[in-house]
Structure 1
């Protein structure tokens, strides 16, 4: 589509990088608004969001490396390691679920250290913003051509023609593909809407946080059906259909269910 918006001298301003920045600020703004509803300190949310963002970048890069090293499909299509570590604004930053895993670990670690924020309420405030950020970030994927879909001839198929999309992401050119990036963006917006609607009916603290992992994981398991990029990794545990996205999506669902049951039981035991 449009990997580069314009160039300033020899420096290209990538659409993907700009949308990632917008995603961070929009997601943080929504998280701060949700935090205020529970009487939490918005400044603390901003500090936490920055730490989570850094962890997400590192985690996304690391999972991309693992996929490239340990799966046959990943070895076939993975980029050179020097490109994995770049923060180029023209291409994807890594595997999104690796970012979420690392960000979640840092979230728990920082709040356990004592940030003046209650863990469960903070998680409830944060995750709608995370879903919004993901939705915007997926538009960046679409602009860059990464995370592309399988070939299709439906009326809404996307055909990429920009050589930069192929150079940076291996995107097939001139072939109609499922716009799976837009499917994922719509799925993330749906996740955000579900979380915001469920917040008004929350029966225990941490419920929205747990619900995020349940619905985010389910959405990814479904949208993986139309993914066509080989460097995401497939064939885990000997099953061709089990891609990295599906594997982490199922793990997210189990984590969400476990947190839901554990925290709900704690509520009922009081």
Structure 2
């Protein structure tokens, strides 16, 4: 894979950046399409997208710095590199928190808007992992399976050895998750349910795929990678939220 797709004079188009841009574009188009003829103001959708992107960038960068804290102590210049080094979970958490702040400021319903956004988030993640494949980051462990893929010119992934294609695995998983969420969104009106399903399913899939990752810059929490630890916490918190929401609805139903 070649990350440098096209070079025109001093301008270089990188595969990773292009896939991120395409992911944002198609995710936003999906948002606008689904928000049309529904009780959502497009001005809020645009603003939430911007807030989510900014919050996601900050969150992804902060979590990367946390996982790289020992290296940063030795090489503080890492803090000045804003073009590389991001953790997806930090982006998800940062984007959701930014959206929550915006909704509180504008006094609009957070869960309904989050339900609208999560299929697009999954779609963007699918494109993002294609970018990871082109860049050679987030690669898998060495394998002898016929399904393995080999890099020959990567600056990040090991070259000339077969690796488990974890980028492709997560990309396919994210696209499938997007389709499933779109299907579920048409069949439920319960605020927050689609968002919870996204968080639980993505965390489950990410937890499993992490076992096949071969890059060593992800950080560790005990025997788990940082992402696996966060995945477990998100599944736990989301599960508690679902149980409490269900019990609250039952209590209200009995007293109406």
Query: Which segments of 5 or more consecutive residues in structure 2 lack a partner in the other structure?
Result: none
Runs of 4+ that moved beyond 3 A: 78-88, 262-268
Shift, 1:37, TM fit: 5.5
1:176 is aligned to 2:176: no
Q: Displacement of 1:10 after TM fit?
A: 2.9
Compared with structure 1, are the counterparts of its residues 267 and 33 closer, same or farther at alpha carbon in structure 2 (3 Å cutoff)?
farther
Output the CA distance in 2 between the equivalents of 1:18 and 1:125.
25
1:119 to 110, 130, 138: 110
Partner of 1:60: 60
Select which of 219, 229, 232 maps to 1:250. Answer: 232
Spell out, residue by residue over 1:36-63, the C-alpha distance to the aligned partner (whole angstroms, 9 max, x if none): 3632112311111111011111111111
Larger Rg: 2
Query: In angstroms, what is the RMSD of aligned CA positions?
Result: 2.2
Alpha-carbon distance in structure 2 between the residues aligned to 1:59 and 1:10: 31
CA distance in 2, matches of 1:265, 1:254: 17
- Equivalent residue, structure 1, for 2:123: 132
Residue 79 of structure 1 deviates from its aligned partner by: 10
Paired residues, number: 252
- Looking at structure 2, the residues matched to 228 and 215 of structure 1 have their Cα atoms a distance apart, in angstroms, of 22
- Structure 1 pair 148–62 and aligned structure 2 pair: CA distance change class (3 A): same
Cα deviation per residue 1:137-180 (whole Å; 9 max; x = unaligned)? 00000000000100012212111111xx32xx3x1111110110
Match of 2:181 in 1: 195
Distance 1:85 1:198, change over 3 A: farther
Task: Report the alpha carbon displacement of residue 87 of structure 1 after superposing the two structures with TM.
Answer: 4.3
For the residue of structure 2 that corresponds to 1:229, the secondary structure is coil
Greater relative CO, 1 or 2 (CA 8 Å, sep 6+) = 1
Q: Give the TM-score, by structure 2 length.
A: 0.90
**C-alpha distance in 2, partners of 1:34/1:247?**
33
In the alignment, what sits opposite 1:34? 34
Deviation per CA, 1:47-98, whole angstroms, max 9, x where unpaired?
111110111111111111111115xxxx49x99554554343xxx5501101
Q: Which residue of 2 aligns with 1:109?
A: 101
Calculate the TM-score normalised by the size of structure 1.
0.86
Distance 1:133 1:207 in 2: 20
Cα separation, 2, equivalents of 1:261 and 1:230 = 36
Other-structure match for 1:222: 208
Give 1:86's match in structure 2, choosing from 75, 81, 86: 81
Report how far residue 111 of structure 1 moved: 0.5
Q: Does 1:261 align with 2:243?
A: yes
